[in-house]
Chain A
């Protein structure tokens, strides 16, 4: 360091900071002294031990859920060449990530039936915000239709994303089967910019009214945005089946819950709209010797080129989560994914049946791996008592409605244990 100072012709390091006005220069931050690595680990472990994980206390919360992640996925994303690198602007030094992203885009398009996908938005909520902004660029009309039953977090994010526009949100009610009411005559086709539907929806309910959805979209001349679940797509028809223009979702494959982040916002669309798509896209090309190569492409949509006129401000995304997603799909394969999907449905159905046996009502029967249950007792007090018994209940929707999420990790033993505890609480209440 001395040598470097001497080379610069200065006596001490402070001279390098002389451009900072004296009145705002500080001597020290009020921070603790540096800690040894071992101490930091100990301290953080101590704090985190106050958490209860799925393994300490099985939880049945929906929206994002615990899924098993094969060890090889962790090994792959643990490669420093992937996790420490920057966005692959220098293609020749980034072929690994670029090819992985190309493969990720391919997998997303296979699953959703769309033509192209970007390499991620932050999460499904911001993906929805961006999808609506994209729809508005394509179809400049004043209203967007969203389901009345939508997770309130997601709706709040959407409201923030459209604050820079004059868009208004209109809601579609749901019927007795828990699905949206498809009522194309209720809305003025001059006004509907986009329709957002979820399949499976917020109540976990599956919608196979493909022709009706398609008709509504076509008649209202609206952009159809579909929010979906990649695991559901392993066994049910993709949104392309009902003419979706944009597909979004939470890309949780290979990515743990992490208290809600990082997540991965899936974003895919029809090719005709690609120039309106936000985010990064990888394309296949050649190097000067004719070798197959990959690079970022159509960058004139992006903020570093187009600045204020870009399709979005997004720069950092969730690239590493895309690689985890891809590795998960690669190691499970088509059949593995299908098995997991079926297991999720079986376990969720088993749980719902057991709940019915002890006095819950399941209003909507056609669900994937989340379902609504009406509790015979107050939902809040049920959940509180369950925590004391080592079980975390579902998400409380209102006084006695609870939304449950069940996956392949909720084995029969776990479900039976939960049912037993729920039964105990019911007995105590009566």
Chain B
């Protein structure tokens, strides 16, 4: 195997120091490197990685918007980095104030009555929401076992419901939307909640949402909002007004905090007033301009993470909301305009949009008719890398064959969208062989993923054996 960049333990080591330390542990195979070698190594690695600043990153459902640099700067403050979570309230008023104010802002944006900032990611918010659901029905003395999700739902929805101990019932979609009849068919006194993202993962707004909410309430169940697609409706509509009882938001999507190569994110959970008492502890309260932790919540589900959530991420989201203010609705407007524009452009050059119609912030192509030429969505995705674009999300949602899920976000210019459409058009005209062997211009060529599962090399120790 040719090495593109050495592993840390393959870099030349510093000479060992002479003095010996008296310690219990004899063997510890970590290299002693000098700082210069370390910086060089990580710089090389960073150059083999595509970030949002490199260019267009239209991953559907992930909202890869630009991360304003101010957000990074405010979070580097020593009065964040070196503040301990268990400090006396009188010595961390700043952190408490930020959290309190952020909760209020999120309430206004979503139409909910109370927020907990404790969940560390979207899926973690879902789990928290499901635990609240469980606590609510226990409180009412009811045992409800089922959670319903549409077949277009994010995989985290059924996984979170399952983790909280619910049975998951998946209902089929009809023309890309919730099939109201199918929903009614499974709703009963055993239903604890219906989890829904709106707009859904096809980028389509569930326009029957008020009827859906009515049906869910009719059986006494809760309506759960997966906020992954909240970017589409900022300042345009509120989940609280649609009838949702619990929502989670992904601050790393909608509120521009960076994705960090997979995390950290933040997944605050908002509820309607009658569910507030179940939120995780501590709650933050304000009295005469001073902020306090309130642990005295006998109905609370308890804690879902070690302290109060990913504070540094929360702070970045707070900065973003201050930057945008009332103009948050312009975020949704531009995001939706960009998505519809790009969808029409791609249709024009010959791509198929299943359930064609108006979209919100994202849309899903089906590349199924390229299959007869021996080309798969994966191949087109890899070919896009050669044109300098990060590929969209592929093979999701599951209800679209050879799905190609595109979310341009509000930050991209018309020129970028045109360039992307042009690249997609060119690819369509290329011969199958060229596309199947892509990419050509990346640091490594097509990566053999099946081989990784077979080889099972997870550490440099495995590599030596």
Contacts and interface: CB of A to CB of B under 8 A. Distances in A.
Contacts of A3: 414
A271 B455 CA distance: 13
B460 A80 contact: no
Contacts of A80: 51-54
Interface stretch (A302-310, A369-377, A413-421): A302-310
A423 interface: no
Interface residues of B, number: 184
Nearest to A20: B237
Contacts of B242: 24
Interface string B318-334: 11011111111100011
A336 B322 CA distance: 42
Interface string B246-273: 0000101000001111111101000000
Interface in A346-405: 383-384, 387, 392, 395
B50 A307 contact: no
B298 interface: no
A84 B53 contact: yes
A115 B449 contact: no
Nearest to B198: A20
Nearest to A395: B86
B80 A48 contact: yes
B389 to A, nearest CB: 9
A92 B77 CA distance: 35
A247 B46 CA distance: 29
A1 B445 CA distance: 38
B355 interface: no
B396 interface: yes
Nearest to A319: B262
Interface in A313-346: 313-321, 323, 326-327, 329-331, 333-339, 342
A91 B51 contact: no
B334 to A, nearest CB: 8
Interface stretch (B14-22, B183-191, B214-222): B14-22
Given A123-B305, A157-B305, A287-B447, A53 B337 contact: no
Interface stretch (A29-37, A172-180, A192-200): A29-37
Interface string A246-290: 000010000011111111000000010010000011111111111
Given A122-B305, A260-B306, A285-B447, A238 B341 contact: no
B92 A51 contact: yes
B85 A260 contact: yes
Interface string A194-215: 0000000000000010000000
Contact of A331 (B23, B38, B358): B38
A31 B326 contact: yes
Nearest to B95: A259
Contacts of B434: none
Residue among A87, A287, A302, A318 facing the most chain B CB atoms (10 A cut-off): A287
A143 interface: no
A150 interface: no
B175 interface: no
A338 B164 contact: no
Interface stretch (A102-110, A181-189, A216-224): A102-110
B326 A86 contact: no
Contacts of B120: 122-123, 126, 261-262, 316, 318
B414 A4 contact: yes
B87 A4 contact: no
B176 to A, nearest CB: 12
B204 to A, nearest CB: 8
Given A106-B460, A234-B28, A316 B86 contact: no
Given A92-B385, A117-B459, A291-B445, 10 more contacts: A20-B236, A43-B322, A74-B76, A86-B57, A97-B49, A126-B304, A208-B24, A293-B448, A313-B124, A327-B42
Closest 5 CB pairs of A and B: A260-B307, A260-B85, A164-B165, A320-B260, A96-B49
8 contacts: A7-B344, A80-B51, A80-B52, A84-B258, A94-B261, A292-B3, A310-B159, A342-B21
